[in-house]
């Protein structure tokens, strides 16, 4: 294992990246509201524009490409109806909507690994209804803070967010009926432990529906870069290994139910900070990278079940 891939280093880098990502999202939403306020000089429709030195609107905030983010969210399987009711600071940092394929029943308990700003958590809470419960798990303080605020804004009362890591979940044995996750397990440097914990916290007969990234013959040179880990690519494992790790943890009926192999354009979109996982720090994911690794990265939806139950 290279020095860059030490689990502690990777987790700290991931925390830092996603804290920056959600803080940027919050800032841009705040800036947007301020700039459209009727009390703001920015709301003027005059043809004459003020100079940079005199305008209260300057300097301009870093632009958040909302249209690009929405395009990626739709590519990941979110409908206009699902996105329409979301608070402004909800972002999709994932690669596929696991809730859409989850056959959850009202009254069940759902655990969302890496709940982020709360998109999938809110959708899951709505599906289980007032008699059910949705639990979010995240290790990044900034994400947890935003997610909790988004739950309040969305009027969700049957959900909570817990701080913790997937490798050691703050969840009691056999507490949940479903586990979902959206492009998060690939970030863990200890996936075997993640699946062992997932097996532990599921009730007998409990089910898993996750969206994640897998690789198809990805060169080792790319896996040694921590920036590429943050970008959801270098930490991903081969599809067969992913399935094998789940089976070793005790899961049955493990199946890839859907698979999308990325071409260069979709790979570039996934790696763009405005759209998905993004990259940060040590590596910039370039268009050249996208061309080089096209066909070697895929999004998969994986279903599995814990034996037992009725």
- The full set of domain ranges for the chain reads 3-305
Task: Identify the DSSP state of 41.
Answer: G
* Per-residue pLDDT at 218: 78
The terminus-to-terminus CA distance of the chain in angstroms comes to: 43
Please report which confidence band the pLDDT of residue 194 belongs to, taking 50, 70 and 90 as the band edges.
very high
Question: What is the token pair recorded at 174?
Answer: 């056999």
* Per-residue pLDDT at 94: 59
CA distance 232 to 215: 10
Return the higher-pLDDT residue of 89 and 78.
78
Question: 162 pairs with which residues across the strands?
Answer: 137
Alpha helices in the chain (DSSP H): 7-36, 66-75, 80-84, 119-128, 141-153, 191-201, 220-223, 226-230, 239-248, 264-270, 287-293
Please report which confidence band the pLDDT of residue 275 belongs to, taking 50, 70 and 90 as the band edges.
very low
| 26 Cα distance to chain centroid | 16
Average pLDDT over residues 81-87: 70
Query: Is the alpha carbon torsion for 171, 126, 205, 254 positive or negative?
Result: negative
3-305: CATH topology is Rossmann fold (3.40.50)
* Per-residue pLDDT at 249: 98
CB 13 within 8 A of CB 226: yes
pLDDT tens, position by position, 125-163: 999 999 999 999 999 898 899 999 999 999 999 999 999
Please report which confidence band the pLDDT of residue 99 belongs to, taking 50, 70 and 90 as the band edges.
confident
Percentage of residues of the chain with pLDDT beyond 90: 40
* Per-residue pLDDT at 282: 42
As a 3-state breakdown, the chain gives helix, strand, coil percent values, each rounded to 5, of 40, 20, 40
Return the higher-pLDDT residue of 248 and 87.
248
The reported pTM is: 0.75
pLDDT tens, position by position, 233-247: 667 889 999 999 999
3-class state of residue 29 by DSSP: helix
Lowest mean pLDDT among 59-68, 171-180, 236-245: 59-68
Q: Is the pLDDT of residue 223 over 80?
A: no
Average pLDDT score over the chain: 75
Give the list of residues 6+ apart from residue 292 with CB closer than 8 angstroms, or none. Answer: none
């Amino acid at each position: 294992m290279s020095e860059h891939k030490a689990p502690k280093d990777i987790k700290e880098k991931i925390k830092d990246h996603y804290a920056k990502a959600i803080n940027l999202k919050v800032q841009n939403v705040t800036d947007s509201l301020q700039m459209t306020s009727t009390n703001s000089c920015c709301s003027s429709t005059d043809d004459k524009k003020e100079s940079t030195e005199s305008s209260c609107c300057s300097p301009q905030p870093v632009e958040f490409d909302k249209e690009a983010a929405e395009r990626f969210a739709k590519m990941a399987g979110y409908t206009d109806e699902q996105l329409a009711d979301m608070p402004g600071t909800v972002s999709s940092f994932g690669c596929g909507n696991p809730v859409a394929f989850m056959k959850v029943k009202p009254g069940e308990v759902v655990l969302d690994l890496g709940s982020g700003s709360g998109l999938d958590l809110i959708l899951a809470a709505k599906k289980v209804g007032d008699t059910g419960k949705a639990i979010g798990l995240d290790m990044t303080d900034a994400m947890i803070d935003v997610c909790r605020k988004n739950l309040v804004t969305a009027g969700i009362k049957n959900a909570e967010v817990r701080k913790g890591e997937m490798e050691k979940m703050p969840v009691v044995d056999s507490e949940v009926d479903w586990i979902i996750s959206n492009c998060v397990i690939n970030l863990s440097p200890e996936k075997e432990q993640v699946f062992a914990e997932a097996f532990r916290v599921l009730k007998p007969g409990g089910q898993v529906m996750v969206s994640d990234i897998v690789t198809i013959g990805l060169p080792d040179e790319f896996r040694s870069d921590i920036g590429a880990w943050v970008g959801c690519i270098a930490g991903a494992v081969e599809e067969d290994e992913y399935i094998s790790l789940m089976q070793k943890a005790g899961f049955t009926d493990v199946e890839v139910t859907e698979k999308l192999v990325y071409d260069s354009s979709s790979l570039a979109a996934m790696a763009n900070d405005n759209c998905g996982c993004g990259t940060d720090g040590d590596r910039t994911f370039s268009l050249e990278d996208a061309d080089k690794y096209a066909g070697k990265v895929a999004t998969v939806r994986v279903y599995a079940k814990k034996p037992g139950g009725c």
